[in-house]
Structure 1
Amino acid sequence: MKQVLSRSGAYIYATVMFIFGIQHFMYAGFVATLVPGWIPFHLFWVYFTAVALMAAAVSIYVNLYAQWGCFLLGCMIWVFILTIHIPLLINSHFDAGKITNAMKDTGLASCAFILAALYERES
């Protein structure tokens, strides 16, 4: 039962990441505005992130390098927390919506690391 639940959860998580990747392509112009100004080539990073999200999802779906895919996904999301969310929180006097987004990404990164640990046990 535990194996079925963890595998189902992994597939649901992968589906969410894949959809986020598609949305990065669909709304690239808007997402580019979220990239900090000190980082050059905003659209490149939006597309890179889209491909990375989708690649991590595919690695989970086909169970090929899934541990690495999950670990790198968690690291990428933590980079977002450090470069986007924390500066926004500091500069916005802790706006509730910004806190929610930061906590959402913290949860998504944590799930990626948990999945990486689960895949490590399987190998």
Structure 2
Amino acid sequence: MNLIANIGRFLFAIPMVIFGVFHFVNTRSFQNVVPSFIPGQTFWVYLTGAALIAAGISILIKKQIQLVSNLLAIMLLIFAVFVHLPLAIDGDQLAASSLLKDVALAGGAFILGNYFKDK
């Protein structure tokens, strides 16, 4: 089971790092996703990108996995509720897919954090 859990940990963490890098490479695209009622769109894109990279690296090197995974899950749920849900309600199918993806990833992050809490 340890081998499978560690493979899952890598399969979860590596995309987080890549998603974070995307925030820096495609900043303008992500700025358009930040709700207009939130000031400083560029700041939030960079901050969330850095958080995704930091979370992914922390999970990869097994440092503070429970804390990091729980914080990551909360961030993903915030994305789901404030970014994707309003667009999904308006009928945007891509936003609905992103909503479901972020909810699923948040669930995975909670499970990951719980599994590795004592390891």
TM (norm. structure 1) is 0.92
User: Cα distance, 1:24 vs. partner?
Assistant: 0.6
User: Cα distance, 1:97 vs. partner?
Assistant: 2.4
Structure 1: which 4+ aligned runs deviate by more than 2 Å? 94-98
Inter-partner Cα distance in structure 2 for 1:28 and 1:95: 21
TM (norm. structure 2) is 0.94
Q: Letter of the aligned partner of 1:67 in structure 2?
A: Q
Matched-pair identity in %: 34
The count of aligned residue pairs is 119
Match of 1:36 in 2: 35
Question: Could you list the runs of 5+ residues in structure 2 that have no partner in the other structure?
Answer: none
Match of 2:2 in 1: 3
User: Cα distance, 1:89 vs. partner?
Assistant: 1.8
Q: Letter of the aligned partner of 1:20 in structure 2?
A: F
Inter-partner Cα distance in structure 2 for 1:96 and 1:36: 18
Q: Letter of the aligned partner of 1:15 in structure 2?
A: I
What is the correspondence of 1:46-85 to structure 2 with a 5 Å cutoff? 46-85=45-84
Question: Could you list the runs of 5+ residues in structure 1 that have no partner in the other structure?
Answer: none
Inter-partner Cα distance in structure 1 for 2:96 and 2:40: 27
Which whole-Å deviations, capped at 9, do the CAs of 1:3-49 have from their partners, x for residues lacking one? 11011111111000000001110000110110000000000000000
